[in-house]
Amino acid sequence: MGDRKGLILIGAPGSGKGTQAKKLQEQLGYAHISTGDLLRAAVAAGSELGLRAKGFMDAGGLVPDALVIDLLLEALATPAAAAGFILDGFPRTLPQAEALDAAVRIDKVIDLQVPFGLIEERVTGRRMSPSGHVYHVKYSPPKVEGICDITGEALYQRSDDTPDKVRARLSKFEAETRPVIARYQSKGIVVAVDGVGDPDEVYARIAAVL
């Protein structure tokens, strides 16, 4: 456990964290842990956690720290995360970062930078497959409109991927998550990566700094 690699992908909504974390998982074999995915699964399953989280998520707000921290610590304790892990969407607040640092060592934080002017188009054009594959109506459309290339399932749009929710999420990012980046900058482990461009190009930039 002491040698396992801990990476954080941090960035605004729509900066490409999920896309890049999936590629890193494939290439490195580390567990991709997305608190957003875990929370959406809890909502879909109608679990108690899901019921408590849903209102915050639908409003474009943040789910209370205590709920998310428990969820994350559980995911870190699974065998899949024994060799290493890539956190996507956690930590988003200083208390989350403090709880994380008390539990595990973080080796590197990739700060995925995308100008806010590009975020809205990226997020509102995003389409999801229930199996977790992610498309974009313009930048990575499926072969058949509305259908997942891999599973054939119908694609859907996240309820928080609307322009007003995106604005709420961006302001949360500025207020709550910027200080998290500053915290890790003071530890000297943050690497800024330009998140504009084709996902493969962005991945090459990340691979180059790891």
In the complex, the residues that contact ligand AMP under the rule CB under 6 A are: 13, 35-36, 39, 56-57, 61-63, 68, 89-90, 92, 96, 160, 169
How do 126-128 and 134-136 pair as beta strands?
antiparallel
C-alpha distance across the termini of the chain, in Å: 20
The one catalytic residue among 40, 122, 127, 169: 169
Q: Can you list the alpha helix ranges (DSSP code H) found in the chain?
A: 17-28, 35-45, 48-58, 65-76, 94-103, 116-124, 163-172, 178-186, 199-209
The one catalytic residue among 122, 126, 127, 165: 126
The one catalytic residue among 17, 22, 122, 127: 17
Nearer to ligand AMP, 75 or 190 (CB): 75
Catalytic residue list contains 92 = yes
- Name all contacts of 130-133 with Cβ < 8 Å and 24+ positions apart: 130/154, 130/156, 132/37
Catalytic residue list contains 143 = no
Closest residue to ligand AMP, judged by C-beta, is 36
Nearer to ligand AMP, 92 or 136 (CB): 92
Catalytic residue list contains 183 = no
Catalytic residue list contains 158 = yes
**To which residue do tokens 């961006």 refer?**
170
Q: Closest approach of Cβ 3 to ligand AMP, in Å?
A: 25
SS (H, E, C) 148-204: CCCCCCECECCCCCCHHHHHHHHHHHHHHHHHHHHHHHHCCCEEEEECCCCHHHHHH
Catalytic residue list contains 40 = no
Amino acid of residue 64: P
Nearer to ligand AMP, 24 or 62 (CB): 62
Distance CA 199, CA 205 (A): 10
Indicate which residues carry an active-site annotation: 17, 92, 126, 158, 169
